[in-house]
Chain A
Amino acid sequence: MSRELFRFKGGVHPPEHKAESNSRPIHAAPLPKQLVIPLRQHIGNPAKPVVNVGERVLKGQLIGAADGTISAAVHASSSGTVVAIEPRTVPHASGLPDTCIVIDTDGRDEWIAHEPLDYRALPATDLRMKLRDMGLAGLGGAVFPSAVKLDPGPAQACPTLILNGGECEPWITCDDVLMRHHADEILQGAAIMRHLLGSTEILVGIEANKPEAIAAMEAAAANLDFTVEVVAVPSIYPGGGAKQMIETLTGRQVPSGKLSTDIGIQVFNVGTAYALARAVHHGEPMISRLVTVTGHVLRPQNFEVLIGTPMQTLIELAGDRDGTTGILMGGPMMGVPMPNPGVPVVKATNCILVQSRELFPPLPKPLPCIRCTRCADACPAELQPQELFRFAKAGDFGRAQEYHLFDCIECGCCSYVCPSHLPLVDFYRYAKSEIWARERDKRAADLARERHEFRLFRQEREKAEKAAKLAAKAAAKRAELAEGGARPEPAGAAQADGAPAEASDADAKKALIAAALARAQAKKADAAPKNVDRLTPEQQREIEEIEARRAKIRELARKPLATEEDA
């Protein structure tokens, strides 16, 4: 442990509050009566449901398939019956509903057939596809599909792999207890990551306030046939942020707008490594996770929770108390308030922090910014939070972007130190989503412009074509009439004789109109439906229904219809 460590800029030291929950053993939360499993639990495309209402599903069965590369599957966390696929309130700051698969559990907790994968024998691409279909997503909070992160890309290898056990956010201890109790499996996960990424250097960064976890990980690392360096890093919030962890361990900074893989480093949360080991060595998809339930509860502790379990169940297990003022998913610095305690635990739920007036007294009313730049001193992303605040508040999003708004990791250090108690992060979140919305609108407008221009072009072309056709037809018809036979059938065969028309102009016109009328009549009579041979009985029935409906509508709308019949 002689590694030279680096100090990232900024950071704060909020009270840790880890001891409340990290001393109790991990309890498995009991099986709830109903599981509500959202299809959008990760960044990227939501999963597509592959089960139907009424279907019986087994524990670990695929219920939502990954859609595209940046996506992850979702699975039934226990056996039971699918009772609904519908929008339900999900754990999101918006409080909006999103599509969920609702399963009434049968209490048998019956597994679907599953078996370990021989990851060394599988081609890397197949293995990544399998992991995507097992629903692997980063458990550190961002829930980015792990299969994508396990692709070293064109560089073919990512020399440095960092397991992040920083867990710098106050109150949360799920990674801490996971490392204490499952160090071996976490490192098995690291072995698989190393295999996929071709990494040669493996580091585990753990904040020094977790001596038990460090000891457990060191002991486990000693048994491996490859080198894993367990490094105690100073406890500074947000030292567990991916970019901060990289800087602390390697002294390198990820350039603005770049990924860590661009400088040959990939970072995974320890929980993700554990889940990966479970998936590969036991064939278990991501259907449960460790969740810290803490704050204003009687027995703060960590639970092994099935995805889809209502948060309320866990709060009751930990002993709910009077005087609850709210629930945060995540910690006090970056957590988001939950719309209600009934929302389900998802892959991103690392902590349920129950708030009370004593633990989280309401902030005093904000004062105007006094430009003290304390926020800038605390910002780990080396931004100018006071300027970002000014631009975001004024709606000057262009300037906010010039000041690298998108490098903000929403860590909350700036709000934490602000003597004016300004809710700075709320402004950055607002500005970011506003910018995204505008980009979306812009894309939609560009599409509309393109389509409109194409339509104008098409109309021009059609007009020209029509004119040409008409002219040709008129010429042909005149020639035909001149021949003498005013036949009403067009019959496609237009004979151009070249003989000049002797009949008077008026006569010719009259004949033309008569011919057109006759043609229209004939067309109307034999307007037979097309493609009606080889119909299934169902289609036949459907057609009949439609015809009946049409007949009715015609009755209703006889007048306007008369003019459009030939449109």
Chain B
Amino acid sequence: MLTAIGVMVLLAIVIGTVLGWSAIRFRVEGNPLAEKIDAILPQTQCGQCGFPGCKPYAEAIAKGEADINQCPPGGEDGVKKLAELLGVEPKPLDETHGAPKPKSVAFIDEQTCIGCTLCIQACPVDAIVGAAKQMHTIIASECTGCELCLPPCPVDCISMVPIAEDLPHWKWKHPVIELKQVA
């Protein structure tokens, strides 16, 4: 009996030490959960979720300070994936943060642009090129469509252009099959 207790105590001490040591030795930098959440978020960096970017939102979700349905660009699909990751029930998007829109890119009317650089300062992904008093252009392949560059423009020369479906990006649709009812 005594030896049994002794063995258990010894085991507890040994395992505890190993666990404690490995917790320090193999400590994971950063917050792995937040990173997993961030990997699901669309990286539009638009701030519609109420946070200054996708990562802060991911961190807030990880800490339980924000709900999973605040990101309109991610859409229902994004909510579903987050729910799956966190093991909670998916819920509809929170309308107060905006509704999902078709994916667009910003376009600068170069005729009107005055080269004030205000949009450059607003763009979260540096997708706008131009220098002071030069016309500015948006690198469409890098624009996330966050719309943050629209309000600062003093001459309203930026507009959002929905991305038209072209051949390389065309997708086969989910086939609609009308199943015959079997009695």
Contact of B114 among A40, A90, A96, A553 (CB under 8 A): A553
A window 512-567: CB within 8 A of B: 549-550, 553-554, 556-557, 560-561, 564, 567
A564-B154 contact given A365-B178, A434-B171, A550-B114, CB 8 Å threshold = yes
Q: Give the Cβ gap from A506 to chain B, nearest Cβ, in Å.
A: 34
Interface of chain A, main secondary structure: helix
B125 interface residue (CB < 8 Å to A): yes
Complex CA distance for A429 and B132, rounded to whole angstroms: 49
Residue-wise, chain B 156-183 has the 8 Å CB interface mask toward A (1 for contact) of 0000000001110111111101111010
B window 105-126: CB within 8 A of A: 111-112, 114, 116-118, 124-126
Contacts of B154 in A (CB 8 A): 557, 560-561, 564
Contacts of A560 in B (CB 8 A): 154-155
A96-B170 contact given A449-B43, A452-B53, A452-B124, CB 8 Å threshold = yes
Count of chain A residues near B, Cβ 8 A = 45
Interface of chain B, main secondary structure: loop
A564-B44 contact given A364-B180, A451-B142, CB 8 Å threshold = no
Among the listed stretches A183-191, A227-235, A440-448, A493-501, which one makes contact with chain B, having 4 or more residues with CB under 8 Å of it?
Answer: A440-448
Question: Can you name 7 A-B pairs with beta carbons within 8 Å?
Answer: A93-B172, A364-B180, A430-B173, A550-B114, A557-B154, A561-B116, A564-B116
A window 75-104: CB within 8 A of B: 90, 92-94, 96, 98
Contact of A430 among B41, B45, B53, B175 (CB under 8 A): B175
A455-B126 contact given A365-B178, A553-B155, A561-B154, CB 8 Å threshold = yes
Contact between chains at A455 and B116 (CB < 8 Å): no
Residue-wise, chain B 33-66 has the 8 Å CB interface mask toward A (1 for contact) of 0000010011111000000011100000000000
Q: Give the Cβ gap from A335 to chain B, nearest Cβ, in Å.
A: 15
Contacts of A455 in B (CB 8 A): 124-126
Name B54's closest neighbour in chain A (CB-CB): A449
B127 interface residue (CB < 8 Å to A): yes
Contacts of A109 in B (CB 8 A): none
Q: Give the Cβ gap from B117 to chain A, nearest Cβ, in Å.
A: 6
A367-B179 contact given A96-B167, A564-B154, CB 8 Å threshold = yes
A window 434-471: CB within 8 A of B: 434, 437, 440-441, 444-449, 451-452, 454-455
Interface centre among A98, A446, A564 (most CB of B within 10 A): A564
A98-B142 contact given A427-B175, A561-B114, CB 8 Å threshold = no
Complex CA distance for A466 and B118, rounded to whole angstroms: 19
Complex CA distance for A423 and B4, rounded to whole angstroms: 66
Complex CA distance for A355 and B166, rounded to whole angstroms: 28
Q: Give the Cβ gap from B116 to chain A, nearest Cβ, in Å.
A: 5
Contact between chains at B182 and A368 (CB < 8 Å): yes
Residue-wise, chain B 128-171 has the 8 Å CB interface mask toward A (1 for contact) of 00001000000000101000000000110000000001110111
Contact between chains at A90 and B167 (CB < 8 Å): yes
A107 interface residue (CB < 8 Å to B): no
Complex CA distance for A426 and B177, rounded to whole angstroms: 10
Contacts of B132 in A (CB 8 A): 567
* 5 tightest Cβ-Cβ pairs between the two chains A and B: A560-B154, A448-B43, A365-B180, A445-B43, A426-B175
Contact between chains at B42 and A452 (CB < 8 Å): no
A426-B180 contact given A40-B167, A451-B126, A561-B154, CB 8 Å threshold = no
Q: Give the Cβ gap from B121 to chain A, nearest Cβ, in Å.
A: 8
Count of chain B residues near A, Cβ 8 A = 39
Interface residues of A (CB under 8 A from B): 40, 90, 92-94, 96, 98, 364-368, 393, 422-423, 426-427, 429-430, 432-434, 437, 440-441, 444-449, 451-452, 454-455, 549-550, 553-554, 556-557, 560-561, 564, 567
Contact of B116 among A92, A449, A567 (CB under 8 A): A567
Contact between chains at B171 and A433 (CB < 8 Å): yes
Contact between chains at A94 and B170 (CB < 8 Å): yes
Contact between chains at B38 and A557 (CB < 8 Å): no
Complex CA distance for A557 and B173, rounded to whole angstroms: 47
Q: Give the Cβ gap from B62 to chain A, nearest Cβ, in Å.
A: 16
Q: Give the Cβ gap from A429 to chain B, nearest Cβ, in Å.
A: 4
Contacts of B144 in A (CB 8 A): 444, 448
Complex CA distance for A23 and B158, rounded to whole angstroms: 63
Contacts of B155 in A (CB 8 A): 553, 556-557, 560
Complex CA distance for A96 and B179, rounded to whole angstroms: 29
Q: Give the Cβ gap from A101 to chain B, nearest Cβ, in Å.
A: 16
Name A423's closest neighbour in chain B (CB-CB): B175
Interface centre among A96, A448, A455 (most CB of B within 10 A): A448
Contacts of B127 in A (CB 8 A): 451
Q: Give the Cβ gap from B46 to chain A, nearest Cβ, in Å.
A: 11
Contact between chains at B180 and A452 (CB < 8 Å): no
Contact between chains at A367 and B180 (CB < 8 Å): yes
A433-B114 contact given A364-B180, A445-B43, CB 8 Å threshold = no
